[in-house]
């Protein structure tokens, strides 16, 4: 069963008004900041960096013009306005985050072409999917496992969506029957398991890659793939467990519900794949090499006499996919999202410029005096910031935009209050993919919302409850697990 999933966000009346007024508003904001006197304690470069960033942020949120076009204008506006030098602005293209994102697109293309993740999903369901509960748990586990393999939430949803439809067909789910909650559970688990699993693996989405790049450049602390995984995976797994039980309570299955799964069609799809192909074997080999090098981290020095960073391993992996005899890709087959790369360049330039011009520290000091955060204990501040990090997706649907706002800001808060910036910024980065409450908040949500199995209210209620459970687990981890692994 092959199904191409293509989702386009439909703009509502409010979003259309934002789009119309976004450009004049952005120009007005920039002109106002340009013409105002430079505030005491702030440099002229800092003032102009604020003008460029706020204007760009208005355009990114309103989507008045394409995000990649905004980013190109940011690269021009920073040196033109005196906020940054030309070399600094153009040099962003050489930052690690851009190369890591670039490599992630190639890895995702190779894994998609190989079909390895689809084979793995069909095999597990046909082998172990014996009942309603086992299928629901398997879909959670599969979403978690393929997050290692496919570094894109949308790509994973596009791969899993047809398989979910097969399961629905096997259970003969009638979506017009209000008593039948299994379809709702399957679709909502597809959304939540995809997005929440992302938090366990730093390379599972480009926004998390952007987050650790900000942490490295603004604090000097490099977060390895394994360090992220060890810290985040237990919280992620417990959140997925909580998600399963919350769903069971919200959407109870009636006693008459079919409890035995007819695996015929699932098995047929698996049989159609035939024997494992040479491309799948190659993709599996490259993936194992990549994962091993990421997991080894500093052990590479003892074993090989040198150490490849997270970025270098990703670039090596991308190169392997192109090598004759070893790889499976040709250049034209690599689905590189150049618009996202350019967007990341401008977004990163704007974010870093805020810090380097001293604007971030100046602005945060003013805010802190009014909020009184300097008097908050660490655990209270941690709880407040994690709540904001998780639920901020209700205001900013773009994970990248949220990252460039949240991570530098939280690092500034930590520096001003005397706490270790990594102890606040890294856990906040674990919340970047918490986009599970409403359909417009991610393409993953829209893919599953198109089934008609659940309402907006049902998704919002389920999503809010699960995110509150995750927030509680994060606060608990701040006093236990995060201390044990050394990030708090």
Q: Quick one: which of 384, 385, 428, 416 has its CA closest to 212?
A: 428
What pLDDT does 260 receive?
Answer: 54
Query: Is 60 exceeded by the pLDDT of residue 8?
Result: no
Query: Is 70 exceeded by the pLDDT of residue 171?
Result: no
287 with 218: CB under 8 angstroms? no
What pLDDT does 255 receive?
Answer: 57
Query: Is 60 exceeded by the pLDDT of residue 4?
Result: no
What pLDDT does 176 receive?
Answer: 46
More confident residue, 234 or 338: 234
Kindly state the average pLDDT of the residues 441-467.
84
The end-to-end CA distance of the chain, in Å, is: 47
pLDDT digits over 61-102, tens only?
A: 788 888 889 889 999 999 999 989 998 888 888 877 678 778
What pLDDT does 311 receive?
Answer: 80
More confident residue, 348 or 380: 380
385 with 424: CB under 8 angstroms? yes
Cα 441-444-445 angle, rounded to 5 deg: 55
More confident residue, 477 or 344: 477
- Would you tell me how many other CB atoms lie within 10 Å of the CB of residue 377? 8
What pLDDT does 365 receive?
Answer: 63
Kindly state the average pLDDT of the residues 251-263.
60
Kindly state the average pLDDT of the residues 181-188.
84
- Band the pLDDT of 387: cuts 50, 70, 90: very high
What pLDDT does 322 receive?
Answer: 95
pTM of this structure: 0.70
Q: Quick one: which of 151, 154, 156 has its CA closest to 139?
A: 156
- Band the pLDDT of 11: cuts 50, 70, 90: low
Q: Which range is most confident: 127-131, 160-164, 237-241?
A: 237-241
Query: Is 60 exceeded by the pLDDT of residue 458?
Result: yes
What pLDDT does 319 receive?
Answer: 94
The C-alpha atoms of residue 214 and residue 402 are separated, in whole angstroms, by 13
406 with 412: CB under 8 angstroms? no
Kindly state the average pLDDT of the residues 19-35.
92
What pLDDT does 256 receive?
Answer: 45
Q: Quick one: which of 457, 4, 477 has its CA closest to 199?
A: 477
pLDDT digits over 397-441, tens only?
A: 678 878 888 898 889 888 878 899 999 999 999 999 998 988 767
What pLDDT does 175 receive?
Answer: 44
Mean of per-residue pLDDT scores for the chain: 83
Kindly state the average pLDDT of the residues 93-120.
80
């Amino acid at each position: 069963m092959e199904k191409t999933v293509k989702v386009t966000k439909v703009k509502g009346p409010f979003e259309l008004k934002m789009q119309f007024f976004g450009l004049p508003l952005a120009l007005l904001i920039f002109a106002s900041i340009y013409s105002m006197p430079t505030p005491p304690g702030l440099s002229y470069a800092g003032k102009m960096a604020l003008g460029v960033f706020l204007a760009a942020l208005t355009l990114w949120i309103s989507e008045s013009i394409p995000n990649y076009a905004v980013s190109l204008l940011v690269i021009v506006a920073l040196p033109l306005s005196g906020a940054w030098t030309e070399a600094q602005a153009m040099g962003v293209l050489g930052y690690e985050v851009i190369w890591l994102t670039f490599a992630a697109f190639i890895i995702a293309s190779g894994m998609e072409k190989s079909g390895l993740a689809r084979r793995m999903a069909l095999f597990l369901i046909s082998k172990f999917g014996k009942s309603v509960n086992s299928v629901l748990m398997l879909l959670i586990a599969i979403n978690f496992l393929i997050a290692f393999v496919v570094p894109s939430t949308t790509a994973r949803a596009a791969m899993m969506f047809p398989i979910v439809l097969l399961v629905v067909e096997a259970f003969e789910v009638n979506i017009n029957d209000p008593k039948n909650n299994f379809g709702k559970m399957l679709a909502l688990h597809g959304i939540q398991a995809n997005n929440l699993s992302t938090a366990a693996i730093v390379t599972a989405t480009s926004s998390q890659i952007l987050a650790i790049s900000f942490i490295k450049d603004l604090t000097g602390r490099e977060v390895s793939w394994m360090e992220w995984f060890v810290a985040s995976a237990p919280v992620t797994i417990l959140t997925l467990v909580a998600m399963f039980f919350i769903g069971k309570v919200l959407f109870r299955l009636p006693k008459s519900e079919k409890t035995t799964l007819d695996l015929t069609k699932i098995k047929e799809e698996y049989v159609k794949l035939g024997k494992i192909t040479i491309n799948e074997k190659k993709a599996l080999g490259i993936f194992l090499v990549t994962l091993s090098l990421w997991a080894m981290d500093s052990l590479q020095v003892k074993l090989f006499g040198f150490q490849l960073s997270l970025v270098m391993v990703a670039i090596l992996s991308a190169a392997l996919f192109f090598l004759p005899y070893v790889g499976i890709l040709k250049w034209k087959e690599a689905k590189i999202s150049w618009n996202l790369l350019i967007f990341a360049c401008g977004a990163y330039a704007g974010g870093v410029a805020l810090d380097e011009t001293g604007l971030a520290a100046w602005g945060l000091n003013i805010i802190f005096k009014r909020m009184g955060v300097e008097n908050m204990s660490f655990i209270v501040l941690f709880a407040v910031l994690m709540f904001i990090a998780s639920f901020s997706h209700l205001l900013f649907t773009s994970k990248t935009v949220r990252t460039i706002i949240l991570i530098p800001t939280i690092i500034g808060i930590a520096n001003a209050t005397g706490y270790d910036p990594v102890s606040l910024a890294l856990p906040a980065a674990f919340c970047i993919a918490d986009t599970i409450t409403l359909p417009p908040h991610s393409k993953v949500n829209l893919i599953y919302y198109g089934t008609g199995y659940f309402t907006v209210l049902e998704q919002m209620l389920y999503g809010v409850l699960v995110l509150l459970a995750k927030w509680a687990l994060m606060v608990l981890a701040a006093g236990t697990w995060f201390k044990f692994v050394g990030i708090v």
